[in-house]
Amino acid sequence: MKKLILCVSILVCNIVYIIIGVFVLLWFFDNDKGVVKEREYVPIEELQDYFVRKVKIIRFVTECKDFPDYEARKLWYDGYHAEPHVECFFKREMTKEEFTKLSNITNYIYWRDDKDGTLRFSRSWSQKEYMNIPVGMMENMIVKIEKLSRSGFTLSYRDNVVGERIDSDYLNKLTGIKFPAYSVVDYYNNGMRIIAKLQFENLVDISTVKDFCESDSLEIKNNYIYNDKRVSLSIFRNMKFAKLIIRDNILVCGNAIKKDSEYDY
């Protein structure tokens, strides 16, 4: 009798484990980690007014006055960040020559080429007293354009986190070196890390570069501990901008986080 009870108990436990396993697998596949679910579109009218999609405003944001006319047709939200994504289609498909021309005039600070031949764009900002904000846009926003091809692109928005101000004297205090005047042209904050792009009025002169770093490489990097923060500063030689990353000064082992260069927002 005891053996029968033991066998039944083991059988019940195995069944419970199987049921739990099935639920785990269903959860796994239902959260975009396995089978990709069909995208659910919602009426474009549901997009809030402050998520601007007018061509004129997007030209200001992208700093691309020749950005082609387009129509915003479809709206969907991803489940994790609940970010709105707008599927946009050019009113007239670009020719190869027009696409090449657009690729060549995009500002390298905000634009990148993807491996599949499309373009992507990201730009973010904080508050008006911190930096210039594109005309027609609200404060503390992140705007992204992905998969821009000859036929269209995906436009998405995210709220930016209000964080530390990068004022005009920040680099001087940080490094002890007097840097030429600059302005913050891109500011991203996810609550754990700030990534700012700084644009100098003129090329950083050779004497400043030598004081900062003896390296002859294209990208000059230095890391500092400043006010209990770990700060990484990269200056691109023969260009007018630098990249600044600020995060809490914590020790990270192995590959627990991605390299700073891998962060894309």
Task: Report, as an integer, the average pLDDT of 96-110.
Answer: 90
User: Which of these ranges, 142-146, 166-170, 181-185, has the smallest mean pLDDT?
Assistant: 166-170
pLDDT of residue 138: 92
Tokens of 190: 């996810």
| Averaged pLDDT, 186-190 | 93
User: What is residue 186's predicted lDDT score, i.e. its pLDDT?
Assistant: 95
What is the rounded CA–CA span in Å between residue 92 and residue 151?
A: 8
In the chain, the amino acid numbered 146 is E
The Cα–Cα gap between 222 and 214 comes to 11
Q: What is the DSSP letter of 105?
A: H
Percentage of the chain exceeding pLDDT 90: 37
Contact criterion met (CB below 8 Å) for 88 and 71: yes
Lowest average pLDDT, out of 89-93, 171-175, 181-185, 212-216, goes to 212-216
Contact 152, 181 (CB under 8 A): no
Query: Confidence class of residue 211 from pLDDT cuts 50, 70 and 90?
Result: low
**Region of poorest pLDDT, from 57-61, 93-97, 104-108, 151-155:** 104-108
CA dihedral angle for residue 225, residue 229, residue 230, residue 233, rounded to 10 degrees: -90
Q: Are 210 and 204 in contact (CB under 8 A)?
A: no
Please determine, for residue 19, whether its predicted confidence score (pLDDT) is greater than 80: no
Q: Per-domain residue ranges for the chain? A: 1-28, 44-159, 170-262
The model's pLDDT over 113-138, given as tens digits with 9 standing for 90+, comes to: 988 999 999 999 999 988 999 988 99
pLDDT of res. 64 = 92
pLDDT at 36 over 60: no
Three-class DSSP category at 104: helix
Residues 252 and 247: their CA atoms lie apart, in Å, by 12
pTM score, whole prediction: 0.74
